[in-house]
Amino acid sequence: MKAVDDITFSLKEGETLGIVGESGCGKTTTCHALFNLLPPGGQLMGGSIHFDGTEITAKSQKEMQKIRGKEMAMILQDPMASLDPLFSIFDQVGEPAYHHRKLRRNSLKTQVEELLGMVRIPSPSIRMKEFPHQMSGGMRQRIVGAMALAGGPKLIVADEPTTNLDVTIQLQYLELLKELQDQTGVALIFVTHNLGIVAKMCNQIAVMYAGKIVEQGTTRDIFNQPQHPYTDALLKSIPVLGNKDPLYVIPGQPPNLAEPPDGCLFHPRCPKADQRCRVEHPPEVVLQNAQSSVCWMTHKEEQHA
Amino acid sequence: MSQISSVKNATVLIFPSIQRIILKSRNLPILPIAIIVAVLFLAIFANLISPHDPERSVKDTETGRPIDNYLPPFWMDGGSIRTPLGTDFHSRDILSRLIHGSRVSLIVGLVGTLAAGLVGTTLGITAGYLGGWWDQIIMRVTDAWLALPSLIFAIFLASVLRPSLWNIVIILALVFWSRYTRQIRAEVLALRERDYVRLAEVTGASRLRVMVKHILPNTLNTVMVLFSLTIGVAIIIEASLSFLGIGVPPPKPAWGLMMADGRGPLIAGKWWISVFPGLCIMLLVLASNLLGDWLRVRLDPQLRNR
Amino acid sequence: MRRFLSVRIFYSILTLWLLTIIVFTMVRLTGDPATLWTDYPGVSEEDLDMVRERWGLNEPQITQYWKFVSNIFRGDFGTSFQFSMSVTDIYFQRLPNSLLLGATSFLISLIIGVPLGILSAVKVNSRWDSIGKLIALLGLSVPGFFVGLCLILVFGVQLGWLPILGKGDQFFDIRYLIMPAFSLGWYFAGSLLRLTRSSMLEVLGSDYVKLARLKGMPEIVVIAKHAFKNAMIPVLTLAGLQLVLMINVAVVVEVIFQWPGVGSLLIEALLGRDFPVVQGAVLMAGAMIVGINLLLDVLYAMVDPRIRISG
């Protein structure tokens, strides 16, 4: 089963890339592939994954351990599950700093305090002696953020970080992430199904469907002129305040990746699909503005424009 | 700005894990079922299958006198095919005693566990559903009862009751009921909140009716799993009691009893009297444990990790 | 933590009390207790009356129960018929032997069960896992006394390496100790393996373990520091319950190997119709279980910060 099929994207320093798609489209697997930490039964076949000048696919697990947590870090969806209930905050936030940057004792303590301060945890010197179950959900996710920063990474991947948070706190957290990015210059990859978040946080977007990237481009371009029907549908399904029309829902279900349909993977649900779409898989079409889309219809749009 | 990361033409394949494959296929655990069926068969048709009378010594066909005792199994020196697994001190055929002994193990194991299940489930359902002081009492008693070690309690009961087959069944019921009660009660507490139960209550069904018609059928899965897991322990307890001499009274053959009889000869090197019944016990318990595991995985995914 | 513990202590005391009620009623429900005291042929009605007088069996049940409990409270379990000493004396004389056996078995089970369980979980679905699962299954299905007999057969009789019966003259003699301890620990090793394995598997699939790996922690740290400690908590609680079962198997194992502990004492008393000892041993066994459970709760409270700080 191809969880992720022949994807290509790139990211520059300080940029934020948003990976958007429904559940099961392969966005989480992509992130794990970046870290070379696939689940048991998963295997990387072909292609290259480049990070900061080195080839990830060529590295052994031991070598990867030096990179993970230090050069690249991840924030997961569920803050409670991300933190080990048996160890103190200091212990967990300090772990990457201890292992990767070899900080000890006082410098370690100061560093943890500093990190907790950066994620706006009040009274960090007291808090760090406490345990995860004593914190609120929003605080926990911020601590996870501090953990991610502890190694001094160049890239942070956030996999649906606000999905499990209270709606009222979500915005705060996003703003915090943006602030941290401004402060440290770290590159962000944001994985989400929520286009609203993408609009706010990201300058580049990659839309994934059934394991493939179906459209890529800058946030502005994609929102203004979506090329792929799936992207179009996603944008249409964002509810607009004041609009009383029924919500647009994409008909059908994502395909079973163990038995994918012929031709374009989206064709069973696509309003614009024609005979060619059902039979032949479309190539990637790159437009002048570097926006790309994997759709037979893209040509036609260009011709019209 | 320099590039921090680039991914080119990467593909990730995921192979479904072996466990998922096993769970998807309707793999019936053939071996355990076969063993249990075989033992059942032996128990039911013991009189027809067993070559000799288990309670009397085997007689030499020509002279009419008892043949040698302590004959080894047929594949060893001195053994004869007429008594394939050897003879014991009283020149009784081991194989025949094994076959008849299955009756005791099965009856006691099955009926005892069933009785325990009946009592335990009833108490569990009533405690969980009716609540209040009844629940409190049952819970406390159950907890205390669970603190009683099964075999020791069984030994204690065996000392106050006269030894007999049915008394052993009663003992087993008394020892094991609390296991059912605790787990069933926990499940009933959750079931009680389900919509169809609420609906039945609202439409005026009596509490008895709700318990029998709605709650009971939904606990049957757990009951079956508990049942299959408890049978193994029950059989071992029965065997232990027989071994210690306080189980089913002789001369009725019981596997545990045979093992006890064979203990002395074992030290003198005559191993077959103890080992064969031991193997039988082991196979039966193994089979029921495997069956119980399979049932547990199939019937209740929540219990899977236990 | 204090609240958690005081609740547990309260329930333990309650359980102990219920235990005495259960034992008391069981004896009286099944007939005239006098016959239990004097079960030999040719006992006359007068003898029975004398026994009833002596043991206060003619008084109302409540009074009898009160006497029963207050005696127990003072540590008086009666006098043994066979040994002509108080039940408590004979019990505590034999107890250290059982404790030695139990402790050794526990150690053996721990050494076999936990590492294999961890190995099975870490290398799940591999050959190691299959071996681990097989050992667990055998441990749970093969009765301890069968293992004991086989061991005697192989090592005692046919190979002649180890002595078969008894305990030997020294307190700690490994040659006498090893076979009974192994037979006793066999079952517990199997269940420990299974418990450790499933607990580890659950923990290894959790997010914080995943995150630890994503943080670039070497695998050993992930397993030893995060996974192990978290996995052991449920193992502790469940293991305590399983430990209880070892007391059961100990009875038969002690009889087989003629190990002079409280298990064989129970059987000797039973066969010798020495009822006070039987009753005393049962009560003590129940009390020990309640005690062990309480101890485990204390351990649990100390290890898990969730209980320690806000429990």
Query: pLDDT tens for residues B245-255?
Result: 888 887 778 88
What pairing do the DSSP bridges indicate for beta strands A48-51 and A54-55? Answer: antiparallel
- The per-residue pLDDT for C36 is 66
Residue A180 pLDDT greater than 80, yes or no: yes
pLDDT in tens, C88-140: 888 888 888 888 888 889 889 889 888 998 888 888 778 888 888 888 888 88
- Tell if the CB–CB gap between B11 and A9 is shorter than 8 Å: no
CB contact residues (below 8 A), chain B span 5-64, against chain A: 5-17
Average pLDDT, chain A: 83
Q: Shortest Cα distance from B18 to chain A (angstroms)?
A: 9
- Tell if the CB–CB gap between B3 and A13 is shorter than 8 Å: yes
CATH tag for C92-262 (out of 1.10.3720.10, 3.30.1490.190, 3.40.50.12370, 1.20.90.10): 1.10.3720.10
All structural domains of chain B: 42-47+91-299 (1.10.3720.10)
- Tell if the CB–CB gap between A64 and C216 is shorter than 8 Å: yes
- A31 contacts in B (CB within 8 Å)? none
Question: Which range among A2-6, A24-28, A151-155 has the greatest average pLDDT?
Answer: A151-155
Q: Rounded to 5 degrees, what angle do the CA atoms C233, C133, B15 make? A: 95
Mean pLDDT of C184-193: 88
- The per-residue pLDDT for B304 is 41
pLDDT bracket for residue B116 (50, 70, 90): very high
Could you give the dihedral angle defined by the CA atoms of residues C54, C57, C59 and C65, in that order, rounded to the nearest 10 degrees? 110
In 10 A of CB C35, how many CB atoms? Answer: 13
Nearest to A3 among B3, B4, B14 (CB): B14
Q: Is C160 helix (H, G, I), strand (E, B) or coil?
A: coil
Residue B219 pLDDT greater than 90, yes or no: no
- In chain C, residues under CATH classification 1.10.3720.10 are 92-262
Residue B305 pLDDT greater than 50, yes or no: no
Residue B306 pLDDT greater than 50, yes or no: no
- Tell if the CB–CB gap between C216 and A66 is shorter than 8 Å: yes
Q: Shortest Cα distance from C112 to chain A (angstroms)?
A: 26
Which of C125, C215, C236, C304 is the best mutation test for A, with the most CBs of A within 10 A?
C215
The set of residues, in sequence order, having a beta carbon less than 8 Å from that of C86 and lying 6+ positions away, is: C76, C77, C78, C79, C80
pLDDT bracket for residue A31 (50, 70, 90): confident
Nearest to A69 among C216, C303, C304 (CB): C216
Tell me the whole-structure pTM to 2 decimals: 0.75
Residue C48 pLDDT greater than 80, yes or no: no
- The per-residue pLDDT for B113 is 92
Mean pLDDT of B283-297: 84
Percent of chain A predicted with pLDDT > 70: 98
- Tell if the CB–CB gap between B12 and A41 is shorter than 8 Å: no
Q: Say how far apart CA A82 and CA A223 lie, in whole Å.
A: 33
- C215 contacts in A (CB within 8 Å)? 68-69, 73, 95-96, 99, 147, 151
- Tell if the CB–CB gap between B236 and C137 is shorter than 8 Å: no
Mean pLDDT of A251-276: 79
Angstrom CA distances, B225 to B254, B293, C78, stand at: 27, 8, 43
Mean pLDDT of C188-213: 87
Mean pLDDT of B173-185: 89
Average pLDDT, chain B: 81
Percent of chain B predicted with pLDDT > 90: 5
- Tell if the CB–CB gap between A4 and B10 is shorter than 8 Å: yes
Q: Shortest Cα distance from A204 to chain B (angstroms)?
A: 13
Q: Shortest Cα distance from C5 to chain A (angstroms)?
A: 19
- The per-residue pLDDT for B266 is 82
- Tell if the CB–CB gap between A8 and B8 is shorter than 8 Å: yes
Between C241 and A147, the more confident residue is A147
- Tell if the CB–CB gap between B278 and C15 is shorter than 8 Å: no
- The per-residue pLDDT for C34 is 66
Residue C272 pLDDT greater than 50, yes or no: yes
Residues on A contacting C at a C-beta cutoff of 8 Å: 35, 37, 40, 61-62, 64-70, 73-74, 76, 78, 81-88, 95-96, 99-100, 131, 133-134, 144, 147, 151
pLDDT in tens, A115-127: 888 888 888 888 8
Average pLDDT, chain C: 80
- The per-residue pLDDT for C33 is 66
Structure tokens at C233: 């908590």
- The per-residue pLDDT for B120 is 92
- The per-residue pLDDT for C307 is 67
